[in-house]
Amino acid sequence: MIQIIPAIDIIDGKCVRLTQGDYAQKTVYNENPLEVAKEFEEIGIRRLHLVDLDGAKRGGVVNLKVLEAIAAGTDLIIDFGGGIKSDNAIEQVFNAGASIATIGSVAVKDQPLFFGWIKKFGANKILLGADVKNEKIAINGWLESTDLSIIDFVRQNVNAGVKTVFCTDISTDGMLEGPSVKLYEKIISTFPKLDFIASGGVASLNDIYELDRVGCKGVIIGKAIYEGRITFNELRTITQR
């Protein structure tokens, strides 16, 4: 069964969600992200996707204390991203308790640095984040568009040893209108050995089952949980299968 990976997005140390990556469309769901993480752990969730939105915007890790608190207060496997753009930053993230570093912009802008991290830490410690709009890569907290296609981007990185990629379609993220299943099918069929994680647009259990059907290894879910579209009881049912 597909792995459920709840997302906790952080601004000013608080659990928030954006709509379509717009920092002006922000909703605060909880002022204590550790409480949220513990709730997920209690229902059988094993992995957490933690995003430092301040870091993504500023180009350097900001909310390291939130990572430290969740890592110390739970046994969750944490993948952490947002603002990891230097050797020092990635070392800080691992030292603070992240099991996996989520990398996006650096993989586009500084491939030698990114490929060096894969060699140094191993592919299992790196999660490549591919944010797309109209099948083109977007970077820097979705604030900057590129002309690089998602397929070409994934190919470059798979050839360099990347094993796991998550893809967020910005046009669907936070809209609760369903995930970009056709795009994900295209990526999975092109790279059948890739561990592919879907992200964005999930609004119901049926969306999760559909992503499982097309071969996604995991699904990152945020707003649907916080808005009650997918309940904790439903998540518990899936995690206990």
Can you give the CATH number for the domain in which 165 is found?
Answer: 3.20.20.70
Ranges under pLDDT 50 in the chain: none
Is residue 75 flagged as an active site residue?
no
Residue 80 structural domain? 3-239
Residue among 181, 144, 180, 151 nearest 165 (CA): 151
Give the number of residues written for the chain. Answer: 241
- Catalytic, out of 52, 54, 79, 131: 131
pLDDT at 21: 75
pLDDT for 143 equals 67
Please report the pLDDT score of residue 140 as a whole number. Answer: 67
* Catalytic annotation present for 9: yes
Which listed residue (9, 52, 169, 207) is catalytic?
Answer: 9
DSSP output for 18-64? EETTEEEEEEEEES-HHHHHHHHHHTT--EEEEEEHHHHHHTS---H
The count of domains in the chain is 1
